[in-house]
Amino acid sequence: MASNETFPPTARLHTPAEFSRVFEQRRSASSQGLVLYACPNAGGPPRLGMSVSRRIGGAVVRNRWKRRLREAFRRVRTQLPSGNDYVVVVRASSVPAGAAGARQVEETLVTLATRVVGRPGYRR
């Protein structure tokens, strides 16, 4: 794995306060069972938070979604608009499988992030 594909603690949202700050901005876009919320951070690198509810499925399904999202974020982090925090909320229970599924999640993340940040009225 290349060094730019790691997922260090500095690339994650940790505290409930960080998640709340992103949700309170009310800037989101949705597609294919994912909702992406965005909020400007202090100009640092993009950071990711994930919310996968129990209604999505059991622990195996929820953890599979989280692994898929972390991997997608690692791969597309440089393509995401920097200076933002992102929270992905999963709404679909089926996890995209295989290499095609991984590409689909990566493309969806980039598309949603670009759409949210590019909207009029998004504060930087």
pLDDT tens by residue, 55-94? 999 999 999 999 999 999 999 999 998 889 999 999 988 8
Q: How far apart are CA 26 and CA 22, in angstroms?
A: 7
Element (H, E) at 24: helix 16-25
User: Which residue(s) pair with 20 in the sheet?
Assistant: none
CATH number, domain 10-113, options 3.40.50.450, 3.40.50.300, 3.40.1390.10, 3.30.230.10: 3.30.230.10
Average pLDDT, the chain: 88
Please state the pTM of the whole predicted model.
Answer: 0.88
